[in-house]
A and B are shown apart, each in its own frame.
Chain A
Amino acid sequence: MNATHHTVVVTGIGATTPLGGDSASTWEGLLAGRSGVRALEREWAAELPVRIAAQAAVDPSEVLPRPLARKLDRSAQFALIAAREAWADAGFEGRAGENGQVDPGRLGAVVASGIGGVTTLLDQYDVLKEKGVRRVSPHTVPMLMPNGPSANVGLEVGAQAGVHTPVSACASGAEAVGYAVEMIRTGRADVVVAGGTEAAIHPLPIAAFANMMALSKNEGDPEKVSRPYDKARDGFVLGEGAGVVVLESAEHAARRGAKVYCEVLGQGLSADNHHIAQPEPTGRGISDALQSLLEATGLKPSEVAHLNAHATSTPQGDVAEIKALRKVLGSDLDHVAISATKSMTGHLLGGAGGIETVATVLALHHRTAPPTINVDDLDEEIDADIVTGGPRSLGEGPLVAINNSFGFGGHNVVVAFRTA
């Protein structure tokens, strides 16, 4: 590794998810194996082919003051709530430049969303049709732009080193974390607030995902519908929320005496070059990303103790991911405790990489892998050690964990973390 490259650590975490309004309640829900999926008690849901979703446990309007909330798309509201928690958790008080703790010119924000302000766009189109041009909100553009959450988080913390928004559908949140890691590693920033957010529970995205046969149409108990690796899985459940981490150079964190959750070893990236929305069935693109992670970090397959899988509960995708893991990790995959937390949170699209980064960091911090729920009848094609039936201790000594995130368009992002 180049001597000028900096080691990156995680010093703060925040989340608002279908399991809880912060990272602690989310982690508690994950360990308890609680599902956040519920029936959609909304008038507009009646005629939809899918009438369940994993809605945020705490509505952001209960947390943010009304004058602020009305200027933010729901995705930016989630991002801001998670970012505030992560910022405070990292020990920062107030904005950069005012707190004497971090130079604004050395602070960045990289918060991604897969779809952007889709509910704002659609709601304002309703306003245009029903009430006329004059009533369209002047806040519409900053609310619907996909970089809105990142920009609002950047304004909140006082970031001037750069505010970015990588967009890669359901890999967006993980790509944001990876982008932030590179900002610090290459010396562009000392601290970056990074993660993913999504708020797309609206009849149009639900109809669209359902029509492309991505969503489960299971009409049984909502809590049992998201079931990665189970034979009866038939698609994902749409979720909403955000997960955000504070990343920091190890030197900067040490200088201010910050607590450190873990180190970020690095990332691997690839593209399937197969289909706009179908996973490559052999997992070739995913194995390319994993291989490039191993090469970039010097990580050995035998060192990997835990993996937060992308595993959205689709018939093809879950299998392709495991095939790729087997190809790259070989027999060492037998010793990797795999958790598919989407079995509990649903699939947060661009937010998934954010909350699953938080889950991976907490798994290392607590040395515990959360369970995968609803695996009643494991698909025999899933040739790997899936954590089921409750959380599992990851034991003593140095631990490495990987978070996988993949997105429509064939984007593959894998990020590795190591206990501090």
Chain B
Amino acid sequence: MAATKEEIVEGLAEIVNEIAGIPTEDVQLEKSFTDDLDVDSLSMVEVVVAAEERFGVKIPDDDVKNLKTVGDAVDYILNHQD
């Protein structure tokens, strides 16, 4: 069953918390992964792989560079989940 937007935000917040140690409540749609959430390019790969597993999507490397904010990732997952 496809996840709702709220579920995706909540899931990403948990992933970012696990990887970068940012409190889940600080992981909001407009936040930039690199500038606001201490997720560098290597850690972003970890976020992507964790998100793929959790939401059952494939996020090709070429698409990862377009995921600047949490909102970008949420939209991508919403549009690509089964």
CA–CA, A135 to B45, complex, Å? 10
Contacting residues of chain B (25-82) with chain A, CB-CB under 8 angstroms: 38, 42-43, 45-46, 49, 52
Contact B19 A138 (CB under 8 A): no
Chain A residues lying within 8 Å of B45, measured Cβ to Cβ, are 138
Contact B42 A139 (CB under 8 A): yes
Contact B21 A137 (CB under 8 A): no
CA–CA, A71 to B46, complex, Å? 11
Count of chain B residues near A, Cβ 8 A: 10
Contact B49 A67 (CB under 8 A): no
B-contact bits for A321-341, CB 8 A (1 contact / 0 none): 000000000000000000000
Please tell me if B20 contacts chain A, counting CB pairs below 8 Å.
Answer: yes
CA–CA, A138 to B52, complex, Å? 15
Chain A residues lying within 8 Å of B42, measured Cβ to Cβ, are 71, 138-139, 142
Specify which of A70, A71, A134, A138 lies most central, judged by the most chain B CB atoms within 10 Å of its CB: A138
Contact B46 A67 (CB under 8 A): no
Please tell me if A275 contacts chain B, counting CB pairs below 8 Å.
Answer: no
Contact B19 A137 (CB under 8 A): no
Chain A residues lying within 8 Å of B20, measured Cβ to Cβ, are 67
Please tell me if A66 contacts chain B, counting CB pairs below 8 Å.
Answer: yes
Chain B residues lying within 8 Å of A70, measured Cβ to Cβ, are 19
Nearest chain B CB to A70 CB, angstrom units: 8
Contacting residues of chain A (51-83) with chain B, CB-CB under 8 angstroms: 65-68, 70-71
Other-chain contact of A138, B21, B38, B46 (Cβ < 8 Å): B46
Question: Interface extent on A, as a size class?
Answer: 10 to 19
Closest partner residue, chain B, to A66 (CB atom): B21
Contacting residues of chain A (216-231) with chain B, CB-CB under 8 angstroms: none
Contact B43 A71 (CB under 8 A): yes
Nearest chain B CB to A133 CB, angstrom units: 11
B-contact bits for A107-136, CB 8 A (1 contact / 0 none): 000000000000000000000000000110
CA–CA, A65 to B20, complex, Å? 10
Other-chain contact of A65, B19, B21, B43, B49 (Cβ < 8 Å): B21
Nearest chain B CB to A85 CB, angstrom units: 22
Closest partner residue, chain A, to B19 (CB atom): A67
CA–CA, A70 to B45, complex, Å? 14
Nearest chain A CB to B73 CB, angstrom units: 17
CA–CA, A65 to B21, complex, Å? 8
Chain B residues lying within 8 Å of A68, measured Cβ to Cβ, are 21
Nearest chain A CB to B29 CB, angstrom units: 22
Contact B21 A135 (CB under 8 A): no
CA–CA, A18 to B42, complex, Å? 32
CA–CA, A147 to B38, complex, Å? 24
Nearest chain A CB to B75 CB, angstrom units: 22
Closest partner residue, chain B, to A67 (CB atom): B21
Nearest chain A CB to B52 CB, angstrom units: 8
Chain B residues lying within 8 Å of A142, measured Cβ to Cβ, are 42
Chain A residues lying within 8 Å of B38, measured Cβ to Cβ, are 67
Closest partner residue, chain A, to B21 (CB atom): A67
Chain A residues lying within 8 Å of B49, measured Cβ to Cβ, are 134-135
Using a CB–CB cutoff of 8 Å, the interface residues on chain A facing chain B are 65-68, 70-71, 134-135, 137-139, 142
Which 3 pairs of residues, A with B, have the shortest CB-CB distance?
A: A67-B21, A138-B45, A138-B42
Give 22 CB contacts A-B under 8 Å: A65-B21, A66-B21, A67-B19, A67-B20, A67-B21, A67-B38, A68-B21, A70-B19, A71-B42, A71-B43, A134-B49, A134-B52, A135-B49, A137-B46, A138-B42, A138-B43, A138-B45, A138-B46, A139-B42, A139-B43, A139-B46, A142-B42
